[in-house]
Amino acid sequence: MLMWYGHRDAMTPPKLDLLQGTLDLMVLNTLAAMGSLHGYGIARRIEQVSGDQVLLNQGTIYASLVRLEQRGWIASSWGVSGNNRKAKFYSITRSGRSQLAADARHWERLTGVMDRVLGMSKDPDEEGNLA
Amino acid sequence: MSWLLRVFGRIRAYFSKRALDVDLEAEMAAHLDMAIEENIERGMSPFEARRQALLRFGSVQQAREIQREARGLMKLDILLGDLKYTLRTLGRDPGFTAVALLILALGIGANIAVFSVVDTLMLRPLPFADPHQLVWIAPPPTKCGLSCATYSTDAYDEFRMNSRSYQDVTGYFAFSSPGNLSLKLSGGAPIAATSIDVIANFFNVLGVQPARGRLFRPEDARHGAPPVIVLSDAWWRTQFNADPNIVGKAFDIGGQQTTVIGVLPASFDFGAVFAPGTKVDAITPLDLYGPPRDWGNIITFIGRLKPGVSLSQARQDAARVAPSMCWNNKQPQSCGSYKDQVVPVPLKDYISGRLRRSLVVVWSAVGMILLIACVNLSNLLLARVAARSKEFAMRGALGASRSRIVRQLLTESLVLSIAGSALGLCLAYVLVFWLAHQGSIALPLLSTLHIDGAALAWTFLIAITAAVLFGLVPGLRMAGGNLQESLKDSGLGSGQSRKHESIRSILVVSEVALACVLLVGAGLLLRSFLHVLDVDLGFQPDRAAAIKVDYDDNVPGDKTGVLTTQKRTVIFQQILAHVSAIPGVEAAGISDYLPLGQNRAWGTPFPKGIKPPDNASSPLVYVITPGYLHAMGTRIRGRDFTWDDGARSDSVVLISASFARYLASLANWPDGNAIGQVLASGKQDLHIVGIVDDVHEEAVEGEAGWQIYYPQSQADSAGAQLVLRTTLPPPVLANSVLRALRALNPKQTAAEFRPIQTLVDHANSPRRFFMILVASFATLGLLLAALGIYGVISYTVTRQTQEIGIRMALGASAGRVERQVLAGTLRLAIIGVFIGLAASLAAAKLIASLLFATSPWDVATYLGMALALLVVAAVSGYLPARRAARIDPMVALRAN
């Protein structure tokens, strides 16, 4: 991933590096919310929703799309975009929706646990309980 | 489930690369166009719009690569790429490839062949149903071997009835001689074949199903039942042309119309299992309760254990039943004579147990060959890889990981290994085919030798192991090198090559050591074999030959047998008179059994008045005519039988020297002289008229047992083998002898004229077989070691060209350089020989049981082989040494 950002603005905190699985989850969710989108649209949407906090080389989305499509969670077909441009559109499938729900639940649990564990060291009142 | 879809998706993507690539390009192009459009709408200039779009997109090449990685079988692509590269590089160096393939083919091929042999003889279960239940029941092994491992009909009945451990017990008649069957087809001379008589339940107990027709039923063996016969698959094909309607046809066999009731399957070979080295053409039922009942101990025992019965239980059971077994129910004093003489052992152990040691030695030898081959290849590859060290350094600098480089080198060695093993498999197939058709080697189950699934699996295993063995060392060496140094390395003779050289030296030393061990082993076995050949057999096999004689001494209505014996005497006299008249025949005689074959015993006669000790072994019996001993070349002290020894004169016998010594010590005869003394056998008085040299009658190597000879005019002859001693080579006389015999008896079968030497060779054949195997492996090992030494020294000289050039420029003479190279070679060889000799000394005990009259620490052999190896090493190093001496210092210094 090219770190071109680092030269621009030293004040904003560095963007988060995305892991393979999390990008897949974002793509899935975007399609679930937005319906049928082409690759560029998905990438732009993710950038907008994450408030530009994610380090995303837009090109990496195509690997993600191929993974999701092979697993049968999204389906693709060639179509025409708003500007009369030929593009490949992706939409979520039913198994994709159930996978999305499962993954989302998993994330919530994970983040909840992490919050609690990380919250441990901040609270001085808690220490008494451990003794 | 989704991962399964993913797998299919990956496979599909692998096969439609181009289409998917085109798709992706279109998508990415559309993506960029839309990004540029959006940027323009936001107000950027077209140039800036494009730049920003590309920046946000990231590297197009990278996007392509990760998409390809995500969708297809990347690892497979890499593997195929490696494979193609390997094939290219191997093709560019055909010399190296050819040598490597040859070495691998020889090493792996030998391994597969030996594995097949070991598998067939030792590991594979016998070709019967549930073979682990089958046991061989016999007395503990004694000097007289198979001839004493039999039981009588009454003993069989008793054992079968009272034993509780067996589903059933069967056996066969152990005293058939080859050519005992006479088949007369219409309009032709009688044809000789070999048949074995078996008890009616033989095939049931073994679990053999007929290929055609049926096998025996109890009524076929009953006295007076119509004669039936079962053919072996081989005889059915060769003699009867695989006639599909053979079942039910009747043929004149031995003068009786015998019906063929069935054909055995090709998988059943009686000779292969029970009588190695003999071909059994047909099987007939044994009439247990007819005349054979009074023939004494004639049946071997084979039993099938009940499921769940262990061997020790069967042994205890047998020990319990043995005392109640009688030799003959009509002679109560013979009951109890089988005490401790009935011991079951697993059939497989009986058949091939003796071979275990030899097979282990051969297998180790061939394993060592493979090791030597791998070491050789390691060296070769190391040299090759060192020549490419710059290429690998470059790759490493460009980002290839160590494992990637090692993987590529391993691919190379795998390709070589698999190609080599394919060739080796062909080689092994030819070898195995040839071995399986060597009918003269008396090894059990050898004729069933073939390459099967187990051998193929073994091939695969060896191929992989070999590839790892010889591919890993160069690979690790290469990948572990210092990148900078390799890139800088501009010429030969840098620091890294010194490390390489020590590895090469270690490899050469190990090769020499392994070759030394092999040579010493082969040398010891060869010496043993030569000692075996030197054994005094008690007869002179050269220029003597034997042929089976058919005769009809039947006198109808002869109750006492006296007239039969008289008729037979006359027949034999006539035959001998006619045959002796043939020019070239020095001596002729007839015996019913020949040495080194089967025989039987008739109890032990003891000196009159002496009480026989228990458990004395029995002498084997030969019923002979005058002249037989002379024809065999056996020395006699005293006198031979004459034609005057007949029914009316004293009963006379000849006994062997060791038997005579034993009896003399027992009876305290004056001067230890047995001649003139009298033995008591039953009610008869036997006068000893001569002492004969000991004859080896079971095996050449074992102790000679005892023999006793009766004149055929005073005893029952079990058959007739005519033995001739000739001044001409035996095959020349074959026709004249047959003609003479036919003139006397038109029913004489066209029997084979066998030189006595073949009997001896047949008895020695297992030992000869193993010796030849190990000797060929040792030769192969020596050759490989020599090639290895040559290769390494040659390569070292090449690498040191500059150094040598400098030395010569500084004043070293050509001779000195040559001597130095040779000295280096010999140093390596001597270290290797020392290690090899030490290893041989340590392993000597393993081979000791296979040696005959040779100590496993035989100094002459060790020194001789060490010397031979050093000479070979010196010769291998000589050519490179000469090349070193011829180096032109000017050329060497200028070369890069």
pLDDT for A15: 63
Q: Which of A23, A58, A19 is nearest to A40 (CA)?
A: A58
Nearest CA in chain A to B2: A71
**Which residues in chain A touch residue B72, judged by CB atoms under 8 angstroms apart?**
none
Q: Hey, what are B498's tokens?
A: 């010194």
d(CA B109, CA B429): 8
Q: Which residues contact B22 (CB under 8 A, 6 or more apart)?
A: none
Question: In this predicted model, what pLDDT tens digit does every residue of B26-56 receive, in sequence order?
Answer: 999 999 999 998 899 988 898 999 998 898 8
CA distance B34 to chain A (A): 7
Query: What does the alpha-carbon distance between residue B106 and residue B454 come to, in Å, rounded to a whole number?
Result: 20
Q: Does A43 touch chain B (CB under 8 A)?
A: yes
User: How many CB atoms are located within 10 Å of the residue B645 CB?
Assistant: 22
Q: What are phi and psi of B229, to 5 degrees?
A: -150, 150
> Closest approach of chain A CAs to the CA of B23, in angstroms?
9
Size of interface A-B (CB pairs under 8 A): 92
User: Around Cβ B641, how many Cβ atoms within 10 Å?
Assistant: 25
Rounded CA separation B294/B561 (Å)? 15
Q: Who among A59, A67, A83 is closest to B70 (CB)? A: A67
Question: Bridge-partner residues for B107, per DSSP?
Answer: none
B282 pLDDT tier (thresholds 50, 70, 90): very high
Tokens encoding B587: 């001596």
Judging contacts by C-beta atoms under 8 Å, the chain B residues touching residue A43 are 31
Q: How would residue B333 be classed by pLDDT, with cut points 50, 70 and 90? A: confident
Residue at B514: amino acid letter: L
* pLDDT above 70 (res B10): yes
- In this prediction, residue B142 has a pLDDT band, given cuts at 50, 70 and 90, of low
Instruction: Let me know if B244 is exposed, middle or buried by CB neighbors in 10 A (0-12, 13-18, 19+).
Output: exposed
Query: Dihedral (C-alpha) B421, B422, B427, B428: value to the nearest 10 degrees?
Result: 70
| Residue A6 pLDDT | 38
CB-count exposure of residue B89 (10 Å: 0-12, 13-18, 19+): middle
| SS3 assignment, position B210 | coil
The Cα-based distances of B200 to B230, B265, B275, B280, B373 in angstroms read 12, 18, 19, 17, 54
Measured between CA atoms, the residue of chain A closest to residue B24 is A62
Q: Do A60 and B63 touch (CB under 8 A)?
A: yes
DSSP state of B218: G
Contact across the interface for B9 and A71, Cβ inside 8 Å: yes
Query: Which residues, 6 or more positions from B51, have their beta carbon under 8 angstroms from its beta carbon?
Result: none
Q: In whole angstroms, give the CA distance from residue B232 to residue B216.
A: 14
Chain A residue with CA closest to B5: the answer is A71
CB B104 within 8 A of CB B463: no
Provide the token pair at B74. 């990347």
Interface residue A80 vs chain B (CB under 8 A) = no
Q: Å from A122 to nearest chain B CA?
A: 38
Q: Are B53 and B32 in contact (CB under 8 A)?
A: yes
Of the candidates A59, A66, A87, the beta carbon closest to that of B62 is on A59
Q: With contact defined as beta carbons under 8 Å apart, do B147 and B598 qualify?
A: yes
* B40 in A contact zone (CB under 8 Å): no
DSSP secondary structure code for residue B220 in this structure: G
With tokens 């990278």, the residue in question is B62
pLDDT of residue B283: 93
Which of B13, B60, B69 is closest, CB to CB, to A59? Answer: B60
Q: Write out chain A residues lying below 8 Å of B58, CB-based.
A: 1-2, 57-60
Q: What pairing do the DSSP bridges indicate for beta strands B134-138 and B343-346?
A: antiparallel
Minimal-distance CA residue of chain A relative to B10: A70
Contact B70 A71 (CB under 8 A): no
Lowest mean pLDDT across A93-102, B80-89, B180-189: B180-189
Structure tokens at B89: 């590089």
Q: What would the two tokens of residue B460 be?
A: 């695969």
Does A98 reach chain B within 8 Å, measured CB to CB? no
The residue of A3, A8, A55, A62 whose CB has the most chain B CBs within 10 angstroms, and thus the best one to mutate to test that interface, is: A62
Tell me which DSSP letter residue B299 carries: B
What is the 8-class DSSP label of residue B126? Answer: P
Question: Which token pair is B365?
Answer: 């030898």
Q: Do A70 and B6 touch (CB under 8 A)?
A: yes
Query: Is-contact B877 B822, C-beta < 8 A?
Result: yes
Residue with tokens 């990496």: A60
Chain A positions in Cβ-Cβ contact with residue B60 (cut-off 8 Å): 59
Helices B356-387 and B756-799: angle between axes, nearest 10 degrees = 20
Residues B108/B421, Cβ–Cβ less than 8 Å: yes
Q: What is the value of ipTM here, to two decimals?
A: 0.79
What distances in angstroms separate CA B471 from CA B419, B475, B497, B544, one per listed residue? 14, 6, 18, 58
Whether B506 has a pLDDT exceeding 60, the answer reads yes
Interval A7-43: pLDDT, tens: 444 455 666 666 667 888 889 999 999 889 988 899 9
Of A58, A72, A87, the CB nearest to B5: A72
Decide if A89 contacts A37 (C-beta within 8 A).
Answer: yes
- B730-770 tens-digit pLDDT: 777 888 888 888 888 887 877 778 888 888 888 888 888 88
Give the nearest partner residue to A66 out of B59, B62, B71, using CB atoms. Answer: B71
* Separation between Cα atoms, residue B204 and residue B168, nearest integer Å: 9
| Cα distances (angstroms) measured from residue B85 to each of A32, B3, B415, B792 | 46, 32, 11, 26
Interchain proximity B56–A58, CB inside 8 Å: yes
CA distance B721 to B551: 11
User: Which pLDDT does position B422 carry in this prediction?
Assistant: 92
> How far is B602 from B619, CA to CA, in rounded Å?
8
CA distance A30 to chain B (A): 17
Task: Take residue B583 and report the two structure tokens written for it.
Answer: 């020019």
Answer yes or no: do B26 and A88 touch at CB < 8 A.
yes
The token duo for B554 is 């039947």
Mean pLDDT of chain B: 84
pLDDT at A4 over 50: no
The pLDDT confidence band at residue A2, using thresholds 50, 70 and 90, is very low
Whether the pLDDT of residue B299 is over 50: the answer is: yes
> What percent of chain B has pLDDT above 70?
95
Model confidence pLDDT, tens digit, residues B825-882: 899 899 999 999 999 988 888 788 888 888 888 888 899 999 999 999 988 888 888 8
> Which residues of chain B are within 8 Å of residue A60 when distances are taken between CB atoms?
58, 62-63, 66
**Shortest Cα distance from A81 to chain B (angstroms)?**
10
φ/ψ of residue B750, rounded to 5: -75, 75
Whole-angstrom distance, CA of residue B795 vs CA of residue B492: 11
Please give the torsion angle defined by the CA atoms of residues B604, B609, B613 and B617, in that order, rounded to the nearest 10 degrees.
-20
CA B95, chain centre distance (Å): 35
Instruction: Identify the CA nearest to B221 among candidates B149, B158, B293.
Output: B293
Q: How, if at all, do strands B721-726 and B212-213 pair?
A: unpaired
pLDDT per residue over B653-685, tens digit each? 898 888 888 888 888 888 778 888 888 877 778
B738: part of which helix (H) or strand (E)? helix B730-744
Helix (H) or strand (E) holding B856: none
What sign does the dihedral B239-B243-B247-B250 (CA atoms) show? negative
Share of chain A above pLDDT 70, in %: 76
Q: Say yes or no to pLDDT of B493 above 50.
A: no
Chain A contact probe: residue of B12, B34, B73, B74 with most A CBs at under 10 A = B34
CA dihedral of residues B369, B370, B374, B376 (deg, nearest 10): 20
For residue A14, what is the DSSP state? P
Predicted confidence (pLDDT) at residue B263 exceeds the cutoff of 90: yes
Q: Are B5 and A93 in contact (CB under 8 A)?
A: no
**What confidence category does residue B479 fall into, taking pLDDT thresholds of 50, 70 and 90?**
low
**CB contact (8 A) between residue A66 and residue B31:** no
User: What are B5's strand-pairing partners?
Assistant: none
The pTM of this model reads 0.74
Taking CA–CA distances from A90, the nearest residue in chain B reads: B27
CB of A58 less than 8 A from some CB of B? yes
Q: What is the pLDDT of residues B769-818, one digit of tens each?
A: 888 888 888 888 888 888 888 888 887 787 788 888 888 888 888 888 88
pLDDT at residue A5, rounded to an integer: 38
Residues B193, B197, B200, B204, CA torsion sign:
negative
**Which one-letter DSSP state was computed for residue B291?**
G
What mean pLDDT do residues B228-244 have? 90
Residues from chain B that touch A38, judged by Cβ atoms under 8 A, are 27, 30-31, 34
Q: State chain A's maximal CA–CA distance in angstroms.
A: 68
Which tokens sit at B715? 């005893």
- Per-residue confidence (pLDDT) for residue B533, from 0 to 100: 81
Give B444 or B518, the one with higher predicted confidence: B518
Q: What pLDDT shows up at residue B146?
A: 64
Interface-testing mutation among A66, A68, A92, with chain B (most B C-beta atoms within 10 A): A66
**Which residue did the predictor score with more confidence, B627 or B278?**
B627
Please give the structure tokens belonging to residue B627: 């002249």
- What chain A residue is nearest to B23 in terms of C-alpha separation? A88
Check CB contact of B888 with chain A, cutoff 8 Å: no
Interface mutation vs chain B, best among A8, A28, A58, most B CBs within 10 Å? A58
Residue in chain A nearest B28 by alpha carbon: A59
Q: Which carries the bigger pLDDT value, residue B492 or residue A85?
A: A85
Residues from chain B contacting residue A70 (CB–CB below 8 Å):
5-6, 9-10, 13, 71
Query: Which tokens belong to B801?
Result: 């060209």
Instruction: Categorize the per-residue pLDDT at B229 as very low, low, confident or very high, splitting at 50, 70 and 90.
Output: very high
- Encoded tokens for B82: 């490696």
Q: Please tell me which residue, B794 or B233, carries the higher pLDDT value.
A: B233
Phi (first) and psi of residue B862, to 5 degrees: -60, -50
